[in-house]
Structure 1
Amino acid sequence: MESPRLPFNWHPYAAGGHRFRQRRTPMENSKKERLDCDSAERKFRVHFLVRETGISEAEANALIDRIGYEVDALLCEARNIKGR
C-alpha cells in the first residue's frame, strides 16, 4: 500500500503554529514581570519552609538568600536549623 502523498510545502508546524506551546524565557519578560514572579516565588518558599519546618520567616529568608530556591537543599538546611 502506498503512503499518502503530502504537498511539497507540508510541514508539521506550518498549519497550527508550534506543535507544542513554547514557554517564554525570562529574558523575554519585562523586568517588572520577572521581579513580580521572583517575589511571588520567594513568598511561597518562605511560607512553605515556615509551615513545614517551623523556622521563623527571617531564618527562611536568610536561607533563600544563601541557597536559592532549591527545595531539597532548603528543607535540609531548615531542618538542621530547627534541630539546633
Structure 2
Amino acid sequence: MADPSGVAAGHLVNGSFSLPQPLRAQAGSPAAGSGSALAPVSGDPLALLSWSAPVSHDPVTIALRQRIGANDALRTGSYSKTLTFTLSTTTP
C-alpha cells in the first residue's frame, strides 16, 4: 500500500490543508493472520500482509486509523486521499 500522490504523502487532505498526523494502516486475514501493527502510510510501499504459501478465497480486512491531536487544527469539509494497493509475488 502506498500514497503515490506526492502531496502530503500519507496524510489526509482537505484542499491545500493536510492533517499533521499520518494515516495509519494494518491488515489481517484468516490465512495470513493479523499482519503487522498499525503503521504510517507514506509514499513508499508499506507491506501489510504476506503469505507463506499460495492461498485462494482469503478475505482481507484493512483497517485505517487517523490520529487527531487535541491541538490539531481542523478545517470544515471532507478529508480524503487516494491510496494504491498492490498484490505481488516474490517467488513463482
Do they fold alike, i.e. is TM over 0.5?
Answer: no
Q: Of the two, which has the highest radius of gyration?
A: 1
Structure number with greater CO (CA < 8 Å, separation at least 6) is: 2
Q: Which has the higher strand share?
A: 2
TM-score scaled by length of structure 2: 0.23
TM-score, scaled to structure 1: 0.25
